[in-house]
Structure 1
Amino acid sequence: MGAVVRWWTRFSSLLILTGVTLGVAWVVRETNGAGIRELYRVVTLPIYGGVNNTDQLIQARTWELEQRLAEVQSQNDQLRQLLNIPQVKQNKAVVARVIGRSADHWWQQVLLNQGSREGLAQGAVVLASGGVVGRITSITPNTSRILLLTDPSSRVGVVVGRTRQMGILRGQLGNKAVLEFFDKDPKVQPQDAVLTSELSSLFPAGLPVGVIESVDLSDPTRPHAIVQLAAPVDRLEWVQVMVNGQSSQTTLTPSP
């Protein structure tokens, strides 16, 4: 009995270590090392966890800055296009930002962040990249409210550039407006440019309005065309307000 005890005392540690080694080897073989990897992750988490969190924060911050840069570049492009409008170059104009637009009146009016303190007045003509978008109908020292061409109450005297046929442009709550001709046989066609008319009492002549998309002469008493507006009225962000020229009409009732 004493010999067995002495043998166990001498070799027990070796036997236990061998058993543990064999057990670990079996677990690794059966789980493809998943247990070891999980153990490694738990042990090293205090060391590398902070690094991973820092990387995620850096990536999130980089994405945010990229989005801001894209927004600044977009605004810069819009402003550059506004400054290249020939009619604006010939008159003093004030750059304004759209700060208010009701979903219920999306196609009718917008609110600008400039007002009488910048020299703006009721009736001032408003343009965006592409052409006319409307005119000021009410004003405060710091804001202006714009009646858009797309408002159904809007009426603008216009002329077809190629044929000089005149008519009235009427808004219809969308990026397209209706051009009603005075002549029963206007002889116009799609892609003809439409400009503000010299007979308009509200807008200077020659401002770009849009392009004829289709013509309907089926009713001789009401020949008309659909005009695709040149300016992106549905997504206005920046505009130019003309200060010189015909820009101070005080009568706000729409008329050609």
Structure 2
Amino acid sequence: MLKNTLRRWWDLRLQIAMLGIALSGAWLIRETQGQALFEVYGWVSRPFQVNASEQEQLLNARTKELQDRLTELQAQNQKLQQLLGYVATQKTKGIAAPIIGRSADHWWQQVTLGRGSKDGIRKGFIVMGPGGLVGRIINVTPNTSVVVLISDPTSRVGVAISRSRHMGFLRGKGDKAKNRAVMEFFDNVPNVKPGDMVSTSSFSQLYPAGLPVGRVESLDMNKSPAPEAIIEFSASINSLEWVVVYAHEEPSEIALPQNAPSKINSAQNQSSQEEGGEEKR
């Protein structure tokens, strides 16, 4: 009987001990596995969590992007308003065209417009920007057209001093003189001074007379074979975004003034009297 009592006591103690061990193990497993699972969850979900600082940075970046876009749209709107204001002052109806292409290597030579023959544009049409003359159309496709700029080094434009009507021709200087060109006079002693306005002349073949070109910035009266002036363009050719294209029919002949120096006449003839370099393109 004592033996049976001791066995039952020992079995009870053993069961209690085993239960304690099981409970302790379960508690330890729960604690360690819970911590491990939490760490694994945090590691996996961390890339998808955004704290307050990161969220604020994202909002600030988005706000800055929208502000930059608004500034760009306002600048484009201002340029369009200037262009529309210029168009409103013209008697002839023009075709507004955006500039869609401009090579860094030929920045001062050519631009491509997003309008073409489908819009009524033809080769030889003149191109104006806010302020004055920009160039002329030399190539046309159904949806685009190419403009040779008056700043192109091969460009030759017949011009005159608006105040005194003394004439000469304008040749571009490319990137050597940004937004400027050289006017070579026909007279050896022209009546000209800094600030005088320059426009296309009546003997110009590729452009109609009276188009604003620029103003006299400086003079070199000792230049040979004839005096020269640096002309600052009226239109900001460097930052063109929109232009207006006007129809123009080229006359068959050009009438040079009687007092044009022979060397200048020769230069004019070699370049088809005005802009032969571009016509060879």
Contact kept? 2:79, 2:242, Cα under 8 Å: yes
Contact kept? 1:211, 1:227, Cα under 8 Å: yes
Counterpart pick for 1:215 among 216, 219, 224: 219
Contact kept? 2:173, 2:182, Cα under 8 Å: yes
Give me the TM-score of the superposition, normalised by structure 2.
Answer: 0.68
**Amino acid of the structure 2 residue aligned with 1:221:** P
Equivalent residue runs for 1:1-256 within 5 Å: 50-85=51-86, 89-173=90-174, 174-219=178-223, 221-243=225-247, 246=248, 255-256=273-274
The answer to which of 198-207 and 127-136 deviates more is 198-207
CA distance in structure 1 between the partners assigned to 2:87 and 2:160 by the alignment: 18
Return the offset for 1:101.
1.3
Return the offset for 1:55.
2.0
The share of aligned pairs that are identical, in percent, is 47
> Cα deviations across residues 3-40 of structure 1 (Å, max 9, x unaligned)?
xxxxxxxxxxxxxxxxxxxxxxxxxxxxxxxxxxxxxx
CA distance in structure 2 between the partners assigned to 1:145 and 1:86 by the alignment: 21
Q: Specify whether residues 191 and 159 from structure 1 end up closer, same or farther in structure 2 by C-alpha distance, changes over 3 A only.
A: same
Contact kept? 1:130, 1:232, Cα under 8 Å: yes
> Cα deviations across residues 139-167 of structure 1 (Å, max 9, x unaligned)?
10001101000111111111111111111
Give the number of aligned pairs: 207
> Cα deviations across residues 228-248 of structure 1 (Å, max 9, x unaligned)?
1111112221111113xx257
Return the offset for 1:183.
1.2
Q: Specify whether residues 88 and 98 from structure 1 end up closer, same or farther in structure 2 by C-alpha distance, changes over 3 A only.
A: farther
Backbone CA RMSD of aligned residues = 2.3
Return the offset for 1:49.
5.1
Please give the secondary structure, in 2, of the residue aligned with 1:73.
helix
Please give the secondary structure, in 2, of the residue aligned with 1:190.
coil
The answer to which of 199-208 and 87-96 deviates more is 87-96
**Amino acid of the structure 2 residue aligned with 1:85:** Y
CA distance in structure 2 between the partners assigned to 1:49 and 1:61 by the alignment: 15
Contact kept? 2:188, 2:226, Cα under 8 Å: yes
- Listed as ranges, the gaps of 5+ residues in structure 2 are 1-45, 254-270, 275-281
CA distance in structure 2 between the partners assigned to 1:49 and 1:98 by the alignment: 43
Contact kept? 2:159, 2:198, Cα under 8 Å: yes
CA distance in structure 1 between the partners assigned to 2:81 and 2:62 by the alignment: 29
Q: Specify whether residues 232 and 194 from structure 1 end up closer, same or farther in structure 2 by C-alpha distance, changes over 3 A only.
A: same
Give me the TM-score of the superposition, normalised by structure 1.
Answer: 0.75
Contact kept? 1:181, 1:224, Cα under 8 Å: yes
Please give the secondary structure, in 1, of the residue aligned with 2:63.
helix
Higher RCO by CA contacts (8 Å cutoff, separation 6 or greater): 1
Return the offset for 1:213.
0.8
Contact kept? 1:122, 1:250, Cα under 8 Å: no
**Amino acid of the structure 1 residue aligned with 2:156:** R
Contact kept? 2:116, 2:143, Cα under 8 Å: yes
Contact kept? 2:207, 2:250, Cα under 8 Å: no
Contact kept? 2:220, 2:229, Cα under 8 Å: yes
CA distance in structure 2 between the partners assigned to 1:50 and 1:147 by the alignment: 55
Contact kept? 2:87, 2:94, Cα under 8 Å: no
Structure label with greater radius of gyration: 2
Contact kept? 2:205, 2:250, Cα under 8 Å: no
- Listed as ranges, the gaps of 5+ residues in structure 1 are 1-44
